[in-house]
Amino acid sequence: MKILLSAFEPFGGESVNPTQIILQELPDTLEGITLIKVNVPVEFDTCTETVMSAVRRETPDAVILLGQAGGRDAVTPERIGINLDDARMADNAGKCPKDIPIDPEGPAAYFSTLPVREIAEAIAEKGIPARISNSAGTYVCNHLMYSVLHFFAKEGREVPCGFIHVPYLSEQVKDKEGVYGMALAEMSEAVKTAVLTVAKKL
């Protein structure tokens, strides 16, 4: 069994992105599951092809996309990705789209095909804050979630796919008063739990 995990590079003035660190620390094999690790640029124009190149090459059984949502106080599996790019800041290539459909001919939204409730509940059972999110935003994370789900839908391929956001690392919020940060060990355990929860459904 193969599960693709993607992580984003740092963005928005941050020097780290916890999802990249999580990918680096995870083993290549987890309880018999081969983890395909893909680092993704925070760029509207290139993020999707980076992931889809790996999907075409590796043909994974499931795809779990990871990103950081600074300011959230829990690990949040996303329920839905919408057909809209509306950036409040430029991506790492300097692009800042406003009110632009990701695919003018695509549906308004796609629901995650991962077991989002089971993922959130399994993570929470480990004592790690977790809940379902109903908005992946309108930045690069949402763009990637929508685009990969759109690809599978157009291809008629039933590959479970979805997005999970993690909060800031504890180290990232030392100078951010009142902003929640989570320990890396908790984030890593949450992602491991998500992988194993998805694997049980395959």
Q: Give the catalytic positions in this structure.
A: 78, 141, 165
Residue pair 140/19 in contact (Cβ under 8 Å)? The answer is no
Query: Tokens 């190149």 appear where?
Result: 53
Cα angle value 89/94/99 (rounded, 5°): 50
Query: Tokens 């993704």 appear where?
Result: 40
Provide the H-helix boundaries in the chain: 18-25, 47-58, 116-125, 140-155, 184-201
Distance CA 150, CA 162 (A): 11
Length in residues, the chain: 202
- State both tokens at 84: 């809209």
Residue pair 108/126 in contact (Cβ under 8 Å)? The answer is no
DSSP element (H, E) containing 40: strand 33-40
Query: Tokens 């949450």 appear where?
Result: 190
Residue pair 35/22 in contact (Cβ under 8 Å)? The answer is no
